[in-house]
Amino acid sequence: MAEKPLEGIRVLDLSHTLAGPFATMILADLGAEVIKVEPLTGDETRQWAPFVDGVSAYYLSINRGKKSIAVDLKREEGREIIYKLAKKSHIVFENYRPGVREKLGVDPDTLFKHNRNLVYISIKGFKPGSIYEKLPAYDLVIQGLSGIMLSTGYEGEPPVRIPFALFDVYTGMMAVIYALAGLYSGEKPYYAEVYLYDTAIFSMCYIPMIYLLTGKKPKRMGHAHPSIVPYQAFQDKNGKWFTVAAANDRFFRKLCEAINKPELIDNPKFRTNPDRVKNRDELVNILQEAFRKRSREEWIKLLREHGIPAAPIYELDEVFKDPYVVKQIVYQIEHPVIGLIKQLSEPGVINKYCPRSTQYPPLKGEHTISVLKDLGYNNEEIKKLIDDKIIYAE
């Protein structure tokens, strides 16, 4: 196995739920030793349905490759464990509510006293000192505030929630970028904050920028594109959906040839993309009528033969029957409770090697004893910490 780029880097993970754990999972995949610090009751996602043999699928999705220790940070003896870990760590992640990290004694000023070379990454919902500082940053709240729920879907219809915590994932990725920048920064200690709300608007990219630059809200077009036509979904003769992405005039000409409608090529209403955007409804109706004459599979084969970007719109079960996904994305690791579990690969390769973690998502407190021994605690001290309910060991 090729050496992973972050081998030798230790991450002290004080985060919970999604954005932080997603970020630290990426770092674990890249070779970092991630020590996940959980309360004695465990990360709250361990209790989120659905369950596989009593283990949360949600938890399993974002915690592979880590070690778990369960510590009561409200107790002085528990905080002392964290301080010892901080001395041996390179990066710290936390996503506590405002004021909590200070109460627990794991704020940056405190941890920097123990290690001046730490990279400390704090994930927050909103900027401190802002009007929203104390507003709970649940995914639904952020999606609503970002404008995305009334940018997707169709005009006149209710808002549409992206069905997964999209901005938690994006924020986790931004946090990884800031953390890696911290490792290379000459300024230590290094402290960075990443905000869910700011990340949400930033990641929507051209949608908010269209408004800022034109003063006009992009219309809600469902699967269509505000700036390109045709660039959307169509239905076949059986009602199945597929995408057609004629993103430039060359693709549009090829499309007209593929569907045997060459007369559309020189029609002044459709000659250029701005023309097609202006006459969107008329053109889409013509194309949809044509696409209802064959099956989705026939159209995709034909369009691809003409070099036109096109693909089926999958149901989720179809995604995991696709040969690319089966071979390139899904892999399995052994879990002590469930047996073989499927995981999603990192979306890239490094020096021709995919940095896949083969360590299953840890059981609660599974590594408490081994981590404490590494910190210098002896068996008697560990037993006392367990008996005093300072730590939990699996």
Reduce the DSSP state of residue 339 to 3 states and report it: strand
Please write the tens of the pLDDT for every residue from 293-343: 999 999 999 999 999 999 999 999 999 999 999 999 999 999 999 999 999
Nearest to 355 by CA among 93, 15, 32: 32
Catalytic residues: 168
Place of tokens 């000409």: 253
- In the chain, what percentage of residues exceed pLDDT 90? 96
Q: What is the CA radius of gyration of the chain?
A: 26
Residue 36 confidence class, pLDDT cut points 50, 70, 90: very high
Q: Quick one: pLDDT band at residue 219, thresholds 50, 70, 90? A: confident
Lowest mean pLDDT among 1-10, 204-213, 247-256, 368-377: 1-10
What distance in Å separates the CA atoms of residue 283 and residue 225, rounded to the nearest whole number?
A: 14
| Pairwise CA distance, residues 44 & 251, whole Å | 49
Neighbours of 139 (CB within 10 A): 20
Give the separation between CA 44 and CA 48, rounded to whole angstroms: 7
Tokens 């003409």 belong to residue: 306
pLDDT of residue 167: 97
pLDDT for 226 equals 87
The pLDDT value given to residue 2: 62
Q: How large is the average pLDDT for residues 115-122? A: 98
State residue 296's pLDDT score. Answer: 96
What is the set of domains in the chain, with CATH numbers?
10-204+348-392 (3.40.50.10540), 231-313 (3.30.1540.10)
Strands (E), 284-336: 310-312, 330-335
CB burial of 18-34 (b: ≥16 within 10 Å; e: otherwise) equals bbbbbbbbbbbbbbbbb
Helix, strand, or coil here: 235? Answer: strand
Measured CA to CA, the distance from residue 58 to residue 165 in angstroms comes to: 12
Asked if pLDDT for residue 282 goes beyond 80, the answer is: yes
pLDDT tens digits, one per residue of 39-72: 999 999 999 999 999 999 999 999 999 999 999 9
pTM of the model: 0.93
Residue type, 390: I
Quote the pLDDT of residue 394. Answer: 86
- What value does the mean pLDDT take over residues 188-201? 97
Distances in Å between the Cα of 366 and the Cα atoms of 67, 107, 314, 372 are 7, 25, 38, 12
Q: Are the CB atoms for 104 and 76 separated by under 8 Å?
A: no
Least confident of 134-138, 165-169, 280-284, 371-375: 134-138
pLDDT surpassing 70 at residue 1: no
230: exposed, middle or buried (Cβ count in 10 Å: 0-12, 13-18, 19+)? buried
